Amino acid sequence: MPLALIETSHCNVDLKPSPIEPSWIIEGNPDARNCTLSISADGAARTLIWSCTEGKFNWYYDVDETIVILEGSIVLESDGMPAKRYGVGDVIFFRRGAHAKWHVESYVKKVAFFRTTNPAGLGLAIRAMNKLRSVVSRRRGAGEQRVRATAA
């Protein structure tokens, strides 16, 4: 069954338990929860809502992740980056391989966009294929418009 070309959701969804790796927890008893909103056809990209209660923990990124904080705040620190507070509306990008220490002061809710990165050569080939597909699609669409205009 083909995937819908447009999917919609909302940030106020039921979140299910998503425990933080116990060895990553530095302080407190953070309760993390999430809900997946979308997954790309190739599985390389996904979007989810994630929330967490008070606590301090390490986080290790095995994919690229962009977040937008929807509620609450965090204090984030990493090697070469002093501790800084981020709150509602802040956008943060973590590259695959990053490590950060999170301090959730009371509660945080974020939307997260994950993308699995491909090796550089493969990424270049994929971008070239997508560009070619886009050009062909535009030409096909323009040709169909001319046919409809001629028929009218």
User: Residue 61's domain is classified under what CATH number?
Assistant: 2.60.120.10
5 part of a folded domain: no
Measured between alpha carbons, how far is 110 from 51 in angstroms, rounded to an integer? 6
Alpha carbon 53 to its chain centroid, in Å, reads: 20
Number of domains in the chain: 2
Range of the domain at 106: 16-115
Q: Give me the phi and psi of 123, to 5 degrees please.
A: -60, -40
Element (H, E) at 120: helix 120-151
Tens digits of pLDDT across the chain (152 residues)? 677 888 888 888 999 999 999 999 999 999 999 999 999 888 889 999 999 999 999 999 999 999 999 999 999 999 989 999 999 999 999 999 999 999 999 999 999 999 987 666 766 676 777 788 888 887 776 666 655 555 55
Alpha carbon 123 to its chain centroid, in Å, reads: 18
Residue 91: per-residue pLDDT: 98
Residue 142: per-residue pLDDT: 65
103 part of a folded domain: yes
Name the 3-class secondary structure at 23. helix
This prediction's pTM: 0.76
The answer to whether 69 touches 90, Cβ cutoff 8 Å, is: yes
CA-wise closest residue to 110 among 69, 58, 150:
69
